[in-house]
């Protein structure tokens, strides 16, 4: 146990000692002993084994422990300690909580018995507290939570290194338009009927490219070359009424691409 855990342990032990020496609690124990003896006698009469520690009496211990917790405003993680005390009426210090919080995992993973750590992936880590934590407990819980997150979610380390993007929708708009960027190009248009027909045959694989090129040479007079305008970053800036220059648009698109790599690149899982 570290220093904080020792202080929590001592405080919880003090609390329990104050509880079991409280006159009201002592009176309740007198009544509980009668209930326990009656329940034990019934179990013995039925031929049940050791009734004091058997599961048959567990509901009795459980209900009484919960009743005490509610009446005396105790943290719920005192229940195991109370159940054990109700069984043997002695303080077992190994049942005294040395933290007032714990971590819950979903789905519940298989735990390595040697190291006490999960050996299966989980989707959620919950910090569960049983009482209001002191300032130093909160700081310790935060440190422990950070360790748990690092252990349980190593593949999400990228989220701690990335920053929120400003105007993400605007940047995505640039990127979407950027997919259509292309250089200016020359295309052929056929004014007659014959070459369009031959082109369809070529596209269907009925004639070879060599044959189609030969036919174009023969009917070169029916071919017109037309320049198709390209689509550039400056066009994106104009369409979106952006104040960015062409290089600014290109840089914005690269920022989106980099953001995806930083967040989703699986090569950074072990980081």
**Residue 69 vs residues 144, 153, 261: alpha-carbon distances, Å:** 27, 35, 52
* Residue/partner pairs of 251-256 with CB below 8 Å, 24 or more apart: 252/171, 252/174, 252/175, 253/171, 253/174, 253/175, 253/178, 255/165, 255/171, 256/165, 256/171, 256/172, 256/174, 256/175
Predicted confidence band at 151 (pLDDT cuts at 50, 70, 90)?
A: confident
**Is the confidence at residue 50, as pLDDT, over 70?**
no
**Is the confidence at residue 116, as pLDDT, over 70?**
no
**Is the confidence at residue 249, as pLDDT, over 50?**
yes
Tens of pLDDT along 169-216?
Answer: 999 999 999 999 988 888 888 988 999 999 999 999 999 999 999 999
Report the length, in residues, of the chain: 271
Residues 6 or more apart in contact with residue 166 via CB below 8 angstroms: none
β-sheet bridge partners, residue 129: 101
**Is the confidence at residue 4, as pLDDT, over 70?**
yes
118 within 8 A of 152, measured Cβ to Cβ: yes
pTM attached to this predicted model: 0.64
Please say whether the dihedral angle defined by the alpha carbons of residues 66, 72, 74 and 78, taken in this order, is positive or negative. negative
Predicted confidence band at 22 (pLDDT cuts at 50, 70, 90)?
A: very high
Nearest to 118 by CA among 128, 131, 108, 133: 108
**Residue 162 vs residues 73, 114, 165, 195: alpha-carbon distances, Å:** 44, 35, 9, 56
Lowest mean pLDDT segment, chosen from 94-98, 114-118, 198-202: 114-118
């Amino acid at each position: 146990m570290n220093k904080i855990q020792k202080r929590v342990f001592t405080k919880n032990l003090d609390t329990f000692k104050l509880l079991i020496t409280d006159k009201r609690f002592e009176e309740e124990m007198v009544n509980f002993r009668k209930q326990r003896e009656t329940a034990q006698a019934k179990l013995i009469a039925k031929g049940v084994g050791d009734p004091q520690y058997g599961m048959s009496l567990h509901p009795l211990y459980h209900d009484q422990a919960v009743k005490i917790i509610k009446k005396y405003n105790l943290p719920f993680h005192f229940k195991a300690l109370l159940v054990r005390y109700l069984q043997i009426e002695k303080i077992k210090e190994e049942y005294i909580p040395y933290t007032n919080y714990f971590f819950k995992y979903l789905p519940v993973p298989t735990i390595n018995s040697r190291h006490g750590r999960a050996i299966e992936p989980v989707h959620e880590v919950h910090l569960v507290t049983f009482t209001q934590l002191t300032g130093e407990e909160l700081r310790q819980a935060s440190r422990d939570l950070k360790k748990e997150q690092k252990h349980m979610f190593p593949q999400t380390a990228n989220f701690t290194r990335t920053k929120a993007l400003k105007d993400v929708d605007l940047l995505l708009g640039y990127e979407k338009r950027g997919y259509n960027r292309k250089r200016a190009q020359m295309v052929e248009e056929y004014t007659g009927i014959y070459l369009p027909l031959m082109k369809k045959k070529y596209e269907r694989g009925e004639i070879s490219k060599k044959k189609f090129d030969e036919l174009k040479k023969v009917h070169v007079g029916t071919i017109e070359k037309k320049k198709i305008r390209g689509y550039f970053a400056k066009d994106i800036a104009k369409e979106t009424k952006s104040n960015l220059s062409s290089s600014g648009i290109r840089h914005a698109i690269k920022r989106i691409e980099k953001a995806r790599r930083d967040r989703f690149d699986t090569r950074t899982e072990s980081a």
